[in-house]
Structure 1
Amino acid sequence: MASNQLSPQLLGKINIKKQSVTFESSGLSLSGDLYIPDGIGDGKYPAIVVSHPASGVKEQTAGLYARNLAEHGFITLAFDATYNGESAGEPRGLEDPGQRIEDIKAAVSFISLHDNVDSEKIGLLGICASGGYAIPATASDHRIKAVATVSGISIGEFFRVGYDGKQPSSVLNMMLDNAGKARTDEARNEATKTFPIFPADEAAARALGQYVYEGWEYYCTPRGYHPRSAKQMPWISVDKMVTFDGFRFIHLIAPRPVLTIVGTKAATKWMAEEAFPRAGEPKELFWIEGASHVDLYDKEQFVIPAVAKLSDFYRDSLGV
């Protein structure tokens, strides 16, 4: 059972209607959850698209943030990316940056057409790997009027040099060798080759360090486990990700505002610190004291200030 149900501390006073929706991205059906504040009437309101981490699904941290932002009066949409969760696409668990960006734009198109959404007031939130997808999506789609990231990373950088920037080059070479072999095997009509995303058990996770352990704990224990969240990734994902740079075009977003939320103890914070100076104004790098990368997924003491900051950011940026 997933443990990401909201506690009373995270719930506001606004009742929320949750609606299951579907829409298309590159001809494939995507599944989403639309969160609508109760009693909003017939007017037009700002909306926020929320995109989940790699291997995640809409019921995990993306849904948590979407629901909380709806509690602050926004119409929000959390969705499963192509190849993930309840959305279509084969092979399952494939991570394709180009498709992920297209999915975000498809979500923006879908929510723009909602009867209660002001299509001139749409924001975007990317969490973890989706932070690195949200930036190029916003840079190239002027319908997105404000973008924020939480524990944002570039998945390409992550695979090239590791979560801490210290990964030996031999690791990447091994992964690319395996990706090439997997493509040849598929050409022979053999089954898709995959690798495990997480260690097999707690002992193995702890042996690989705090960052790996926290990811394992969130995705593989009742804390954040969801049966549709991918635990394996096709090897062919690697050569799709390795040349991707999620923050390269961050400067193209200005004069639309950028908010980057990072935990002071996040092992991945160096990516945000390197990317942020390249963004144009207005921009803000907001630190959550004491939070690690994964802490910002669901821990109340860190999610509460993050959501409060996000709410203020979107209100100011979208002219609410």
Structure 2
Amino acid sequence: MRTDVTFTSNGLKIAGHLYLPEGLGADGAGAAPAPAVVVGHPGTGVKEQAAGLYARRLAEAGFVALAFDAAYQGESQGEPRGLEDPGQRVEDLKSAVSFLSTHAAVDPGRIGALGICASGGYSLVAAASDHRIRAVATVSAVDIARQFKVGPDGTQDPAVFQGMLDAAAAARTAEASGAGDQTFTLFPNTAEEANLGGPHSFEGWEYYCTPRGAHDRSAKALTWSSVDRIATFDGLATVALIAPRPLLLIAGRQAVTSWMSVQAFQSAGGPKELHWIDGASHVDLYDKDEYVTPAVAKLAEFYGTHLGTAA
């Protein structure tokens, strides 16, 4: 069962979809409190895409699951639209935990987090400092700062990001002069242009810009003011603080971003596990059933072991 919910994060109304296991009423009344998982979406996603798919599948496996739109994006409040603020994204995850902690269907002592793509990095930071998160997992984890600074494969010339910081500084001055919100586009216009950026660029374009995964509310542009906020974030810096709570990192064998999951694993204490999905790329794990199904099975096993299952 899916219900529309809202909660507050730093004074902003956050829109979410709450997925309940079969047999639980909308308010959870009459049932033993169940374990729950907060699911964070990729950097340009919305709750109706990968996060919603994983939340629904986790509910089918017996967990209460909450997918939500980040502040400034999707159906959630916040201006300017398209702002990617890592600090706010971490706060959104913690606020989602607060929402679940007070829900009648949820056992507040059995709440976990799942971060997909950029929310992988955000969930690691949230879990490091919020002990209410009893188990944390990631799928195709990305530290958004590393991706911007050195690219998805880690080989980007650092001068590229320095140029982006120049543009971000100029955009702030323009906004102060009354020019309005300054933004930059995230995706090429055509498949041919996307192909020029390589397979990772193409599969991102294909997911977000074609019927495969496109959604009207997913971000196609970010504000330039996102860039200098991203510059000082580090999604992996505090991974060691998660221990002794358990950590699971799921990555595709073919994902160019998998080095970030490896780094997170190496930095973590324990218990920890790096689980590979053979044949999968980064975006394959967003929606392709042949890869999502084994990923969900591993997640259900992980959360079942560390959070228990619904009565």
> What is the TM-score when the length of structure 1 is the normalising length?
0.94
Task: Name the aligned partner's letter for residue 171 of structure 2.
Answer: A
Q: Which position in structure 1 is the counterpart of 2:252?
A: 263
Q: Does 1:69 align with 2:62?
A: no
Q: Distance in 1 between matches of 2:208 and 2:82?
A: 14
Q: Which position in structure 2 is the counterpart of 1:98?
A: 87
Q: Distance in 2 between matches of 1:69 and 1:311?
A: 7
Alignment of 1:216-227 (within 5 A): 216-227=205-216
Q: What is the alpha-carbon root mean square deviation over aligned residues? A: 0.7
Q: Distance in 2 between matches of 1:304 and 1:234?
A: 35
Q: Distance in 1 between matches of 2:73 and 2:261?
A: 26
Q: Distance in 2 between matches of 1:160 and 1:232?
A: 18
Deviation readout 1:237-287 (Å, 9 max, x if unpaired):
010001211011100000100000000000101111122111011000000
Task: Name the aligned partner's letter for residue 265 of structure 2.
Answer: F
Task: Name the aligned partner's letter for residue 135 of structure 2.
Answer: A
Q: Which position in structure 1 is the counterpart of 2:27?
A: none
Q: Does 1:307 align with 2:296?
A: yes
Query: 1:189 Cα shift?
Result: 2.1
Q: Distance in 2 between matches of 1:317 and 1:64?
A: 22
Q: Distance in 2 between matches of 1:39 and 1:165?
A: 46
Seq. identity, %: 60
Q: Does 1:21 align with 2:10?
A: no
Task: Name the aligned partner's letter for residue 164 of structure 1.
Answer: D
Q: Distance in 2 between matches of 1:295 and 1:154?
A: 18
Q: Which position in structure 1 is the counterpart of 2:189?
A: 200
**Contact 2:251 2:282 (C-alpha < 8 Å) held by counterparts:** yes
Alignment of 1:1-320 (within 5 A): 17-40=1-24, 41-320=30-309
Query: 1:42 Cα shift?
Result: 2.0
Q: Distance in 1 between matches of 2:48 and 2:103?
A: 22
Q: Distance in 2 between matches of 1:145 and 1:95?
A: 26
Task: Name the aligned partner's letter for residue 309 of structure 1.
Answer: K
Q: Distance in 1 between matches of 2:180 and 2:44?
A: 20
Q: Distance in 2 between matches of 1:300 and 1:281?
A: 30
SS of residue matched to 2:138: strand
Query: 1:38 Cα shift?
Result: 2.6
Q: Which position in structure 2 is the counterpart of 1:7?
A: none
Q: Distance in 1 between matches of 2:308 and 2:142?
A: 28
Task: Name the aligned partner's letter for residue 28 of structure 1.
Answer: L
With 284-293 and 162-171 compared, the bigger mean Cα shift is at 162-171
Segments of 5+ residues of structure 1 without an aligned counterpart are: 1-16
Q: Distance in 2 between matches of 1:189 and 1:25?
A: 28
Aligned length: 304
SS of residue matched to 1:195: strand
Task: Name the aligned partner's letter for residue 91 of structure 2.
Answer: E
Deviation readout 1:85-104 (Å, 9 max, x if unpaired):
00000111110000000000
**Contact 2:121 2:235 (C-alpha < 8 Å) held by counterparts:** yes
Query: 1:308 Cα shift?
Result: 0.2
Query: 1:319 Cα shift?
Result: 3.1
> What is the TM-score when the length of structure 2 is the normalising length?
0.97
Deviation readout 1:199-237 (Å, 9 max, x if unpaired):
111000011100000000000000000000010111110
Q: Distance in 2 between matches of 1:211 and 1:53?
A: 15
Segments of 5+ residues of structure 2 without an aligned counterpart are: 25-29
